[in-house]
Amino acid sequence: MLTVTDTGTGMDAETLAHIFEPFFTTKERGKGTGLGLATVYGIVKQSNGYIWVDSAPGKGTSFQIYLPLHVGQAVTDEQRSGPAENLRGSESILLAEDAEPLRKLAQTFLEAAGFHVLSAQSGEDALEVAARHGEIFDLLLTDVVMPGMNGRVLAEQLLPRQPGMKVLYMSGYTDSFIAGHGVLDPGTHLLHKPFTEEVLIRKVREVLDSGEQPLRASTAVTELVGTQTRSSQ
């Protein structure tokens, strides 16, 4: 368990109920993004852990982070050096991510592992890239929440034109935030942000090597755009 405690003003019950929601902030407009604790939550969940908060007005705040105990040999520098050779590949990947730094980083990781990558900054851009290059992609690696067309709708649009293409979703949002949008359904693959090079390559290799047929997205897909807009207000 890792505990972080402060002696600040503390939070009431209503504030505590929303602190892990993306874009929620008690600061003035323009003073905070509301993504800090949502990112912390994502990191803890990715590590198969739990986070608990204890706070009250005038009594400060205490965060307890519980992480699973690992018993085994320490990881050597050689093991950390990069993705194992058997994780490498040569498949074609269409990468859709609106955050430019993360898009470039993910593309660098994937290309270093031997994959052929075409990237797009939005769902609409991804459709244009796919149409312009006219190639068959082995994998669509897409963010869930993007301005305009979200990742699930992008997959729904591409799958009929890309037979056999696998889909891997990425998200830095909490599971509760994205649960109603189909990416947590059985048979779908989700990669939590932030991720390391090894985690990314290992997950991509796992999805590509799976024998599952890609799921056709439901026609009842709910757009994330309205949710994202309301959350940011």
The domains of the chain are located at 2-66, 83-231
pTM above 0.75, yes or no: no
Which one of 3.10.129.10, 3.30.565.10, 3.40.50.300, 3.30.40.230 gives the CATH number of domain 2-66? 3.30.565.10
Six token digits for residue 121: 């900054």
Same fold, 2-66 and 83-231: no
SS3 content of the chain, % helix, strand, coil (to 5): 35, 20, 45
**Per CATH, which fold does 83-231 belong to?**
Rossmann fold (3.40.50)
Closest listed residue to residue 110, CA positions, set 123, 98, 97, 125: 97
Predicted confidence pLDDT, tens digits, the chain (233 residues): 999 999 999 999 988 888 888 778 877 776 666 777 888 888 888 788 999 999 999 999 999 999 998 888 876 665 555 555 578 999 999 999 998 888 998 999 999 999 999 999 999 999 999 999 888 999 999 999 888 998 999 999 999 998 889 999 998 876 766 665 556 666 789 898 878 888 999 999 999 998 765 544 433 233 333 333 333 33
Residue labelled with tokens 């991510």: 97
What is the secondary structure of 181-201 as a DSSP string? GTTTSTT-EEEESS--HHHHH
Contact 189, 207 (CB under 8 A): yes
Six token digits for residue 165: 């293409």
Rg (CA), the chain: 19
